[in-house]
Amino acid sequence: MAAARKTGGYFSAEDLGSFRPEWVEPISVNYRGYDVWEIPPNGQGIVALLALSILRGFRFSSHDDPLTVHRQIEAIKMGFADAHRYVADTRYAAVPVKELLDGAYADARRALLGEEAEDRKAGNPMPGGTVYLCAADGEGNMISYIQSNYMGFGSGVVIPETGIALNNRGHCFSLQKGHPNVLEPGKRPYNTIIPAFLTKDGVPVGPFGVMGGFMQPQGHVQVVMNTVDFEMNPQQALDAPRWQWMGGMNVSVEPGFSPAVAQSLARRGHAMKFELESNSFGRGEIIWRTPEGTLGGATESRTDGCAAVW
């Protein structure tokens, strides 16, 4: 408390004393027979689910087909537009999760997705620094876990003689009066950290996650589609070159992304940018279980993670 007061913060003993961890019900959509599970709002996992709900209405022939990537980008833009409009702490605002994930709403959003890039706006679903860990054992138990102070080192404030760094999740609050995610005492902000899980016909396939702020749901969409649509193994699904929507019409791609695909996307109206480094394109981990019960883990080259067996 002393550190917060000294640096102009607003923490009180009551804030910490009244906090209680909670078990939440994950939210999901079915993507070609696989149930994709995400953490509910105030997390941004719904962005990935919204995008996948749109994309499941298309058939995709290739991972690096320009039309495939164009549709992925436009779907994720729609997902972010809806999330930034509606996602908030459900204790303070009515977040229309059911309506957003309704199949009819996905159909309506998909109908807006054409051949050209557009600056996407939120729809109306209602009528009128990060660390990721996944683990699985021989008894069938699995866990998907993620934690972050946000923006590298959080607030940049470290309590003297403790090493405890305070986060800055309040950065994701809106200051727009009347917005469901507006800054209020005791309220949880829009949150970027979203551990995910994949099941098929009610049977666990496995946990997965992609670290990296607003890249997280974008990475989830690309990893799920690499696995389900393009039949990549876990390592291939993580290592495949990625794109990242940066807001507006701007899309960044990492080294190794097909120049021909990038050029085709640019002709569709996307403002393309090749980045020199890959560290901003997410850092993922996967454990998949085969129908025969074999566990397979993967970690990608963008991060310092590892897949270990014990």
Asked, for residue 155, whether it belongs to a domain, the answer is yes
- Closest residue by Cα to residue 253 from 286, 232, 277: 277
Number of domains in the chain: 1
Asked, for residue 46, whether it belongs to a domain, the answer is yes
Residue spans of alpha helices (H) in the chain:
2-6, 13-17, 45-55, 66-86, 97-100, 103-110, 215-228, 234-239, 259-267
Which CATH number fits the domain that encloses residue 153?
3.60.20.40
Asked, for residue 187, whether it belongs to a domain, the answer is yes
- Closest residue by Cα to residue 48 from 250, 224, 213: 224
Find the catalytic residue in 7, 68, 90, 130: 130
Asked, for residue 288, whether it belongs to a domain, the answer is yes
Asked, for residue 182, whether it belongs to a domain, the answer is yes
Digit-by-digit pLDDT tens for the chain (310 residues) are 888 888 888 888 888 898 888 899 999 999 999 999 999 999 999 999 999 999 999 999 899 999 999 999 999 999 999 999 999 999 998 899 999 999 989 998 998 999 999 999 898 886 556 788 899 998 889 999 887 777 666 777 888 888 888 888 888 888 889 898 998 888 888 888 889 999 999 999 999 999 888 899 999 999 999 999 999 999 999 999 999 999 999 999 999 999 999 999 999 999 999 998 887 898 899 999 988 889 999 998 887 788 888 7
Asked, for residue 22, whether it belongs to a domain, the answer is no
Asked, for residue 196, whether it belongs to a domain, the answer is yes
**Structural domain of residue 239, as residue ranges?**
27-114+123-299
- The yes-or-no answer on residue 162 being catalytic is no
Asked, for residue 309, whether it belongs to a domain, the answer is no
